[in-house]
Amino acid sequence: MARIAFDLDGTLIDSLPDIMEIANALLAEEGRPPLSRPEAMSFVGNGAPAFIERMRAARELPDTGQERLLATYLARYDGAVDLTRPYPHVEDAIDALAAAGHSLGLCTNKPLSPTRAVLAHLNLDRRFPVILAGDSLPERKPDPAPLHATLDRLGTGPRLYVGDSEVDAETAQRAGIPFLLFTGGYRKTPVDRIPHAAAFDDWSALPDLVTRQLASAA
């Protein structure tokens, strides 16, 4: 059986509405206009510090505000769960993979505290015994270290990574691990320009896709 690591935001869950609510409240307090969904989506993927940096640049907020805005953003992030939803069929797909004997873990750039908060809120926490978050190691994706660490903690067996973005694809490529691309998330690039072993747009297709990927690798 395989060791399978998953990204979180844009892969398992659509958290962008909650992220936008926090960000736009911060911008309103600074007297700046709100982010659109495409703008906010384009800022997601490299962790909270990068999101705030990109938000500041887009709204011409001074560099001196980075640490203050980041601290406020993170302080509100743990409770930002009410608008977040799993993508359709995520729970069934995860349960089917676990029932088939695969070991499942989470590798995300989201900080650990809000990661655990949203997983608990959505009743997804019990499904992932191994979680590596954006502040678990000194490195963040696309550095491959978090992905290697996640999969190492899952034991032995073939390795797969499931994500939705260019950052995830680069992480998998640098780690030398087959990448399964969920096309319905936060990617900014056409699918055919993102390196991947296989792609899917419906989570109900993932268990069979994993089976086929493992068979072809064998």
The C-alpha torsion from 19 through 25 and 27 to 28, rounded to 10°, is 160
pLDDT for 197 equals 97
217 CB contacts (<8 Å, ≥6 apart)? 158, 178
pLDDT for 78 equals 86
Q: In one letter, which amino acid is 92?
A: D
Q: DSSP of 95-125, one letter per residue?
A: HHHHHTT-EEEEE-SS-HHHHHHHHHHTT-G
Which residues does residue 6 pair with via DSSP β-bridges, in sequence order? 106, 162
CATH number of the domain located at residue range(s) 3-14+85-217 in this protein: 3.40.50.1000
Q: Determine which helix (DSSP H) or strand (DSSP E) holds 72, and give its type and residue range.
A: helix 66-77
Largest Cα separation within the chain, whole Å, is 57
- The confidence band for 217, taking pLDDT boundaries of 50, 70 and 90, is confident
Rounded distance between C-alpha atoms, residue 108 and residue 133, angstroms: 5
Q: Determine which helix (DSSP H) or strand (DSSP E) holds 182, and give its type and residue range.
A: strand 179-182
Domain edges within the chain: 3-14+85-217, 16-77
| 120's tokens | 């608990």
Q: Omega into 34 within 30° of 0, i.e. cis?
A: no
Residue-wise pLDDT tens digits, 77-97: 888 999 999 999 999 999 999
CATH topology of domain 16-77: DNA polymerase; domain 1 (1.10.150)
Task: Please state the rounded mean pLDDT for residues 20-28.
Answer: 97
Catalytic residues: 7
pLDDT at 45 over 90: no
Domain 3-14+85-217 shares a fold with domain 16-77: no
- Residue 99 burial (10 A CB sphere; 0-12, 13-18, 19+): exposed
